[in-house]
Amino acid sequence: MVSKKSTLGLAVISAVLFASGANAEGESTLDKVKKAGVISCGVSTGLPGFSNPNAEGQWEGIDVEFCQAMAAAVLGDKNKVKYVPLTAKERFTALQSGEIDVLSRNTTWTLQRDGTLGLNFVGVNYYDGQGFMVKKDLGVNSALELDGASVCVQSGTTTELNLSDYFRSNGISFKPVVYDTYDATVKGFESGRCDTLTTDQSGLYASRIKLADPNSAVVLPEIISKEPLGPVVRQGDDNWFNIAKWTLNTMINAEEFGITQANVDEMVKSKDPNIRRILGQDGPKGQGLNLNDDWGYQIIKQVGNYDESFQRTVGEGSPLQIQRGVNALWTDGGILYAPPIR
* CATH number of the domain to which 139 belongs: 3.40.190.10
- Count the residues in the chain: 342
Together in a domain, 140 and 245: no
Together in a domain, 123 and 233: yes
If residue 306 lies in a helix (H) or strand (E), which one and from where to where? helix 306-313
Q: Is residue 337 part of a domain?
A: no
Q: Is residue 342 part of a domain?
A: no
Together in a domain, 116 and 21: yes
For residue 328, how many other CB atoms are within 10 A of its CB? 17
In this prediction, residue 23 carries a pLDDT of 54
Together in a domain, 84 and 145: no
Together in a domain, 16 and 117: yes
Which of 225, 246, 278 is the endpoint of a domain?
225
68 with 302: CB under 8 angstroms?
A: yes
In this prediction, residue 69 carries a pLDDT of 99
Between CA 161 and CA 249 the distance in angstroms is 34
In this prediction, residue 156 carries a pLDDT of 75
pLDDT tens track, the chain, 342 positions: 444 333 334 333 333 344 445 554 568 999 999 999 999 999 998 889 999 999 999 999 999 999 999 999 999 999 999 999 998 889 999 999 999 999 999 998 989 999 999 999 999 999 999 999 999 999 999 999 999 999 999 887 778 889 999 999 999 999 999 998 888 899 999 999 999 999 989 889 989 988 999 999 999 999 999 989 999 999 999 999 999 999 999 999 999 999 999 999 999 999 999 999 999 999 999 999 999 999 999 999 999 999 999 999 999 999 998 989 999 999 999 999 999 999
In this prediction, residue 312 carries a pLDDT of 98
Residue 215, Cα to own-chain centre: how many angstroms?
26
Together in a domain, 54 and 18: yes
SS3 of 250, please? helix
H-type alpha helices, 194-304: 201-208, 238-256, 264-267, 273-278, 295-302
In this prediction, residue 19 carries a pLDDT of 41
Which of 225, 247, 266 is the endpoint of a domain?
225
Q: Is residue 340 part of a domain?
A: no
The pTM score is 0.83
**How many domains in the chain?**
2
The torsion of the CA quartet 323, 324, 326, 331, rounded to 10 degrees, works out to -140
Between CA 212 and CA 91 the distance in angstroms is 31
193 with 148: CB under 8 angstroms?
A: no
Amino acid letter, residue 217: A
Amino acid letter, residue 34: K
Together in a domain, 254 and 289: yes
Which of 172, 204, 225 is the endpoint of a domain?
225
98 with 17: CB under 8 angstroms?
A: no
Between CA 279 and CA 241 the distance in angstroms is 20
Together in a domain, 78 and 181: no
Q: Is residue 338 part of a domain?
A: no
Range of the structural domain that residue 78 is part of: 8-127+228-332
Together in a domain, 78 and 198: no
In this prediction, residue 155 carries a pLDDT of 84
In this prediction, residue 14 carries a pLDDT of 37
Backbone angles phi and psi of 335, in degrees to 5? -120, 10
Together in a domain, 105 and 243: yes
Residue 251, Cα to own-chain centre: how many angstroms?
13
Together in a domain, 108 and 155: no
Task: Name, in order, each residue with C-beta under 8 angstroms of 148's C-beta and a sequence gap of 6 or more.
Answer: 172, 173, 174, 175
